[in-house]
Amino acid sequence: MELVCPAGNLPALKRAVDEGADAVYFGFQNTTNARQFAGLNFTDKRAREGIDYAHARGKRVFCAINTYPQPDGWAMWTRAVDQAADLGVDALILADMGLLDYAARRHPGLARHLSVQGSATSHEALRFYHDQFGIKRAVLPRVLSITQVRDLAKHTPVELEVFAFGSLCIMAEGRCYLSSYLTGESPNTRGVCSPAAHVRWEETPQGLESRLNGVLIDRYGEGENAGYPTLCKGRFEVGGETYHAIEEPTSLNTLELLPELHELGISAVKIEGRQRSPAYVSKVAGIWRQALDRLEVAPGRFHAEPAWMRGLGEVSEGATTTLGAYERRWK
């Protein structure tokens, strides 16, 4: 199984490679990728440097161009595809059907991976992307249970990559417009969710308040840990109860599922977090490398070491992790 790690910048890319990533993924400095953060991502020059670094060590590099080309920006997205091809990346990670079509025609020899933003949750959907655009691999949305992944793996026409660790989107990715409803900017259109420019923190007599474009997302009492106001992880009132009505602040961690994912023939596990620090990437990549090496030697005797779980817990949102939708009772 391939370990695919996030590279938000060149130092993160190098740390990931040094710590044992088999592949890294990056995006350009514009809205063509789903992690558009100030000061993050790659210029042409830095990308070239990163690709050389990875290739010199026998590692692969993927380029994420996984937002949806907007009516006034088609040329910016196709330029990103051409640029990635010129740089010599090993695969493109794409979501938009039009852009997949463009890449398949213009750069037929360059592997196309379907981004999680392409929302393919069944083998029929995978077959559509495969038949129409010749995708080689697909990243599965984080909404499927392990049983559903098993069914899908049985019939898939393409390689599968699943999320291993990191922030947990609990909506079917690529089909979530909650962020633009509140802020005007979404993952699809701008490569952002709950963007920082719309976040306000305020100390009030009721507690510390976090707001997104004026909408109160959460309010923290004394001693409570405040988290980033991702809109689906706030506390809201529904039918007279105030609670984490959509999801708690938590991270996805599927380390325990590795033997099963291995047995299903999953090709790659993906670490989320291009927006996180090089130190984070280095720590997470290192733990998963150890786990995958252990799995390789003796898949039947694999178990998640407490030290690994502790290490991952420390860098998780809310310092807790979940198996998310992989586990049926989470739903």
Q: Using CA atoms, how far apart are residues 4 and 179, in angstroms rounded to an integer?
A: 27
Q: Using CA atoms, how far apart are residues 190 and 322, in angstroms rounded to an integer?
A: 28
| Only segment of 231-239, 254-262, 266-274, 275-283 that touches another protein (CB under 8 A) | 231-239
Please indicate if the annotation marks 169 as binding a ligand.
yes
Number of Cβ within 10 Å of residue 284's Cβ equals 28
Q: Which of 76, 85, 87, 97 binds another protein (CB under 8 A)?
A: 97
The conformation of residue 197, written as its DSSP 8-state character, comes to G
Please answer whether residues 106 and 81 qualify as being in contact, where contact means their C-beta atoms are separated by less than 8 angstroms: yes
Please give the backbone phi and psi of residue 111, each rounded to the nearest 5 degrees, phi first: -60, 140
Please answer whether residues 181 and 193 qualify as being in contact, where contact means their C-beta atoms are separated by less than 8 angstroms: no
Please indicate if the annotation marks 193 as binding a ligand.
yes
Residues 61-80 within binding reach of another protein (CB under 8 A): 68-72, 74
- Residues forming a β-bridge with 60: 23
Q: Which of 15, 219, 270, 276 binds another protein (CB under 8 A)?
A: 219
Q: Which of 108, 203, 241, 301 binds another protein (CB under 8 A)?
A: 241
Give buried/exposed letters for 25-53 (b at 16+ CB in 10 A, else e): bbbbbbbbbbbbeeebbbeeebbeebbeb
Residue 239, class by beta-carbon neighbours within 10 Å (0-12 exposed, 13-18 middle, 19+ buried)?
exposed
- 246 touching another protein, by CB under 8 A: yes
Residues 156-175 within binding reach of another protein (CB under 8 A): 170-172, 174-175
- 146 touching another protein, by CB under 8 A: no
- 145 touching another protein, by CB under 8 A: yes
Helix 278-297 × helix 10-18 angle, to 10°: 20
> Per this entry, what is the length of the chain?
331
- 222 touching another protein, by CB under 8 A: no
What character string, x for contact with another protein (CB under 8 A) and - otherwise, covers 182-211?
Answer: xxx-x-xx----------------------
Please indicate if the annotation marks 5 as binding a ligand.
no
Q: Using CA atoms, how far apart are residues 189 and 185, in angstroms rounded to an integer?
A: 7
| Only segment of 18-26, 54-62, 142-150, 311-319 that touches another protein (CB under 8 A) | 142-150
CB 4, min distance to another protein, A: 23
CB 113, min distance to another protein, A: 15
| Only segment of 6-14, 34-42, 119-127, 264-272 that touches another protein (CB under 8 A) | 119-127
Spatial CA neighbour of 36 closest among 179, 178, 156: 179
Q: Which CB sits closer to another protein, 145 or 290?
A: 145
Q: Which of 48, 127, 262, 289 binds another protein (CB under 8 A)?
A: 127
Number of Cβ within 10 Å of residue 327's Cβ equals 14
| Only segment of 10-18, 38-46, 145-153, 266-274 that touches another protein (CB under 8 A) | 145-153
Give buried/exposed letters for 212-233 (b at 16+ CB in 10 A, else e): bbeebbbbbeeeeeebebbbbb
CB 124, min distance to another protein, A: 4
- 31 touching another protein, by CB under 8 A: no
Q: Which CB sits closer to another protein, 53 or 236?
A: 236
Tokens 């290490």 map to which residue?
A: 311
Residues engaged in binding another protein (CB under 8 A): 68-72, 74, 95-99, 101-102, 118-125, 127-129, 131-132, 143-145, 148, 151, 170-172, 174-178, 180-184, 186, 188-189, 213, 215-219, 234-239, 241-242, 245-247, 325, 328-331
| Residues annotated within a binding site for [4Fe-4S] cluster | 169, 176, 193, 232
| Residues annotated within a binding site | 169, 176, 193, 232
